[in-house]
Amino acid sequence: MQKSKLGLDFEKVEYARGLAKGIAQDVQTFVEQYTTVAVERTLCRLMGIDGVDDNDVPLPNVVVEALKDKGVLNEGALFFIANAMIQTGLTPQQIAEKVAREELDITKVVTTNPQEIAHALQPVIDESMARIRARRSRREHYLDTIGEGPKPYLYIIVATGNIYEDVVQAQAGARQGADVIAVIRTTGQSLLDYVPYGATTEGFGGTFATQENFRIMRKALDEVGEEQGRYIRLCNYCSGLCMPEIAIMGAFEGLDVMLNDALYGILFRDINMQRTLIDQYMSRIINGFAGVIINTGEDNYLTTADAVEAAHTVLASDLINEQLALMAGLPEEQMGLGHAFEMDPMLENGFLLELAQAQMTREIFPKATLKYMPPTKFMTGNIFRGHIQDALFNMIGIWTHQGIQLLGMPTEAIHTPFMSDRYLSIENAKYIFNNMKSIGEEMEFKEDGICRNRVKEVLGNTIKLLEDITKEGLFTALEKGIFGDVKRPKNGGKGLEGVTMKGANYLNPFVELMKGKR
């Protein structure tokens, strides 16, 4: 059995993991009975449907809305598209274009038997999966030939609103030493129930996540990666109302990391919990198949709740998120579980408390590519103190063997920090990572000391919380504000109208294929 530097009781850890598995299974039982408009639009995209109509409405939306208006969405978009393919001899793209021009009603096409439908779908399914495999193979080829930076990966953000300016900033960041470039989404995109089309130049607080923008940035990072002699990872956001759609677009265009967490959308974007957990399942199946690392959003809970009192809610959520990801077929190595302690710089021994929790998280999730986020709640006002706090977090990142280190920087609040500040932050991390490279192997935690006692307390509170959630279920717990002190109604929030129970003819062959074949 794994030995804990903190004296963790792994029997209690496994008990907590078992509780989380039961909670996740209850959610999964619900999820598997339903589909959503976003899931069906994702299946349209997997069939090769792309582009917009004369009113700039994405064609996947056009097809799915047509089925929804006829009250047959629960039978699945693939069922109707396949029937239309058989009866008309058209491709899925041609069918979508005819639906957009109101020249074809795919709900009135004569249906055929399941064998014919499967035969018609197979070549299209094979083509889509081959496209994703090719992208994954391209990444693996780069990693085998030019390699990558060491862990923790240095993670920075760009967010100019203009994809072409983002390219300039991203390539500059890679040359300064960054390993992961995260293109922040424009404000409010998570609440759009469609994905914009094409290259965009007018985002606010970030840049629109579109397939063309993904393509442009992937090409730019491949160019700078070849120049620098190391692979540069690209990160974006498949969360919000289009979670699985953005996941498939990222899979097609070779993204490496995706922010992918339903709980964040529920708590901080008021997205309906039923819909977004269904969407999350499909998105994680895609990310698992594509080899994409997912980042979850637990670190954000402590921006709205007290970091000392609510630390156990982060661990509880990590455990639940782990189980939901495993049920979607996503390997542990692709889990960037979020954690960080929004420590008040004036808190006595705050560094030790955070060090204990970071080491605890590493020991509980030994295979995960953990995402470690710098503090933000107390970073306004004194940027010099903030820079020191970021240095302390960098120490903990290397000490506890984190996977992805989100770098804090003095002008981070403007989303595209000054290049000089970004340079300082990258140098800060590189200097500390080199000077403290083996500290995790050298240092021990004192018996009955602050760190060991802290993790006992956090794990104990985590178990109690998971026991409470087990009794009432995750949906009810979210209604009561169990995470982040934010309460959300089960039957409220944005997007509930996009959920429908699956019918007898529901068809989605991609799920088992992607979960079973990598």
Catalytic residues: 264, 299, 371
* CA distances to 12, 30, 319, 458 from 18, in Å: 10, 19, 9, 17
Compute the distance between CA of residue 513 and CA of residue 518 in angstroms, rounded to an integer.
Answer: 9
Q: Which distant-in-sequence residues (6+ apart) come within 8 Å of 309 by Cβ?
A: none
Burial class (CB in 10 A: 0-12, 13-18, 19+), 266: buried
Beta bridge partners of 372: 339, 405
What distance separates the 2 farthest-apart alpha carbons in the chain? Answer: 75
Beta bridge partners of 257: 235, 293
Burial class (CB in 10 A: 0-12, 13-18, 19+), 108: exposed
Compute the distance between CA of residue 369 and CA of residue 402 in angstroms, rounded to an integer.
Answer: 7
* Cα-trace Rg, the chain: 23
Residue at token pair 């639940």: 320
153-158 vs 180-183, strand pairing mode: parallel
Number of H helices, E strands in the chain: 19, 11
